[in-house]
Amino acid sequence: MRRLATGLLILAALIFLATHLFTDLTGIWGFVARGSEAAMIGAIADWFAVTALFRHPLGLKIPHTAIIPRKKDVLGESLSTFVAVNFLKSHTVATKLRKARLTQRAGAWLAQEKNQQIVVTRAGQGLEYVLRRVDDDAVEGLTRNVLVPKLVDTHKAPVLGRLLQEIVQDGAHHRLVDLVVGEAYIWLSNNPRVIDEIVHQKAPDWVPGFVNDTVSNRLRREVLGWVGDVRDQPYHKARQALDRWMLELAENLKEDTSISERAEGVLDDLLRQEGVVHSVLEIWESLKRLLRGAVLDTDGEVHGRIRSMLDQFSERMVNDAEFAEQMNERIATMAGDLAESFGAEIASVISDTIAGWDAREASDRIELYVGKDLQYIRINGTVIGALVGLVIHAVTLLPWM
């Protein structure tokens, strides 16, 4: 386009020279000469105007030329402010996002199996990256220097009391009681000699052996029967007594009592043990192995469950109109609020990017982007100049001139 515009200028100059050298400038040649002359003037004037935007014409540092290189930072700031003020507004952004129906579109994308695999894979890669970046020494330092001292300084007994109260009220401890009582019954059944030895040790030496055997047999049957009743009866008095004792203990732990003080002391002593730090590290190592194994096993249960969840969620995003509308509204409102609050910072990427450009680079980029239209200005200037020259010459030939 630049060559075309320059070519028209050269053509106008050649016509101007030819008419002045080889014609008498009368008749039609006068129109040609004046048209070509005005075309040159228009072309040169517009060439100067276009060139002055981006550089000094002919390298001459004429005032008010090379405007963009000199004013690029100001232009960047102005453009950034213009975008922030006129586009990054809550109502503008929110309205656009509501029309975009992002939830339905995201759901349709997520419904495809290959896209679900992409999401799961990317999430797994992100988790793997986080696991690799977490240093075991940092975990140990955090546990030793932050978590343990913080727990020691914290009043733990009331929390423990509330937790124990919730456990008892919800009956969450019943399975543990069932397990302990059941194991105790099995152990006593498999080890009858234990009670026999206790009876023989406690009985006086003068008591006949058959009496000890009778007592131990009776005692064993009674103990096994009682443990069996506790095991089989959910509302056994022993179980109820245990519940009452645990609730009473929970109340004492929640209050400032001697029991809560002793519990605090025991917990503090336990937390200060070196084994606590080692236990945390062992748990962390186990957790890392578990997570890494789940992440790497693309055909494993974890990946399968996640893909199933994504499939269900995508179906709801597409087919549940009320849910999709709520999500769209939340996204639009949140994005609008963010644009309103941080519009200047978001738009500053424009001014920051332009400020980082070299002045010459910025000028070349802008010229390259709009250069075609700029060269049309030169072409139009050449054509309009020629037309104006023809009109002016025609006016000078009027009879009254």
pLDDT, residue 210, reads 67
pLDDT, residue 211, reads 65
pLDDT, residue 118, reads 86
Which domain, by its residues, includes 142? 136-272
pLDDT, residue 40, reads 93
* C-alpha to C-alpha distances, 373 to 1, 56, 366, 367, 368, nearest whole angstrom: 9, 20, 12, 10, 10
Q: What is the rounded distance in angstroms from the CA atom of residue 178 to the CA atom of residue 173?
A: 9
pLDDT, residue 57, reads 82
Tell me if 302 sits within 8 A of 71, measured CB to CB.
Answer: no
In a domain, 22, yes or no: no
Q: Over the stretch 108-152, which tens digit does the pLDDT of each residue have?
A: 999 888 888 888 888 888 888 887 877 778 888 888 888 878 877
pLDDT, residue 127, reads 80
In a domain, 261, yes or no: yes
Coil, helix or strand at residue 233: coil
Domains contained in the chain, number:
1
pLDDT, residue 109, reads 92
pLDDT, residue 378, reads 87
Residue/partner pairs of 102-109 with CB below 8 Å, 24 or more apart: 102/327, 102/328, 102/331, 103/317, 103/323, 103/324, 103/327, 103/328, 103/331, 104/317, 104/318, 104/324, 106/314, 106/317, 107/313, 107/314, 107/315, 107/316, 107/317, 107/318, 107/324, 108/314, 108/318
In a domain, 124, yes or no: no
pLDDT, residue 13, reads 94
pTM: 0.48
DSSP state of 58: G
In a domain, 245, yes or no: yes
pLDDT, residue 272, reads 80
Q: Provide the residue type at 80 as one letter.
A: S
In a domain, 347, yes or no: no
In a domain, 202, yes or no: yes
Q: Which residues of the chain have pLDDT under 70?
A: 195-196, 199-213, 295-296, 400-401
In a domain, 306, yes or no: no
In a domain, 179, yes or no: yes
